[in-house]
Amino acid sequence: MKLLNKSLLITAFLFCGMLFTSCEKEESSANVSKVTNYPTFDMQGAATIFLEKGTPFNEPGVTATEGGEEIEVRTSVRGKYRGGNTLDENVSDYYTITYSATNKDGFEGSVTRDVYVVETGDLVNSIAGLYTSTVVRNGSSSAQYTDMEYVMVWQNSDGSYGISDGIGAYYSIGRAYGPAYRAPAKVEANDISANDFTYFPFTVGTFGGVCTMSAMVADPGANTLDFTTVWDAGYTFEVTLNQVEI
């Protein structure tokens, strides 16, 4: 009889231990599984907009939802070539608008819209404009360096012209190395119709080195801007820019 009582006691003890362990596991895992709804965006209008300089920009709008419920959208702007954190319709630049939203769990999402504010020159009085670019480097080219989108030319406040990439975006776009490999350049137009320009040395982004531009020719009939850039790293770039109609 005593043996039976002892066995019952042990069985009861083990049962309670299993029950306690099971409850403990259930309690510790109660909050592990959780569903979070990331921000979902609905962008009205085009993802890329081309705007003639001086034309008002009308924001098409972006909404964000979390699990079907609308949440707040934050907006920021960055001018890629000339800086600035607002979109100025009177300043030619390639602007990126970023729309961001954060869900209740702190997870953020975003979408972007590109806006090109472009001054289109007639290539007689102004070489400003948005251009596709075709580049021949050391006598060689291929499809990836043909009609690259885009190189921008704008007029600075001092009358000189800025060029977003003085080697025609060969590395930044053609090789897809990105904006760190752009080669921003500047020229002064003494007499565009006579193809009389003053050139300033510039460098190739992360690569460095010194570039010298020469022989710029503006052709209003063909809507092209041609020039040669020699880089002291041992490369010569023959660049043809084709003006884009906005």
Say which range, 8-12, 50-54, 161-165, has the weakest mean pLDDT: 8-12
Cβ atoms 199, 211 nearer than 8 A: no
- CB of 183 closer than 8 Å to CB of 138: no
- pLDDT grade, residue 33 (50/70/90)? low
Q: Which residue has the higher pLDDT, 167 or 26?
A: 167
Read off the pLDDT of residues 142-176 as tens digits, 9 standing for 90 and up. Answer: 999 999 999 999 999 999 999 999 999 999 999 99
Whole-structure pTM value: 0.84
Domains of the chain: 40-118 (2.60.40.10), 129-243 (2.40.128.220)
Please provide the DSSP assignment of the chain as one string: -HHHHHHHHHHHHHHHHHHHHHHHHHHHTTTT-------EEEE-S-SEEEEETTSPP----EEEEETTEEE--EEEEEETTT--SS--TTS-EEEEEEEEEE-TTS-EEEEEEEEEEE----SSS---EEEEEEEEETTB--GGGSSEEEEEEEE-TTS-EEES-TTTTIIIIIS---GGG---EEEEEEEGGGTEEEE--EEEGGGEEEEEEEEEEEETTTTEEEEEEEETTTEEEEEEEEEPP-
Q: Is the pLDDT of residue 4 over 80?
A: no
* Residues 197-235: tens digit of each pLDDT: 999 999 999 999 999 999 999 999 999 999 999 999 999
Dist. CA 206–CA 12, nearest whole Å: 74
With cut-offs at 50, 70 and 90, classify the pLDDT of residue 35. Answer: confident
Write down the residue that tokens 């362990």 correspond to.
21
- Is the pLDDT at 3 greater than 60, yes or no? no
Q: 86 pLDDT band (50/70/90 cuts)?
A: very high
The residue to which tokens 């702007």 are assigned: 77
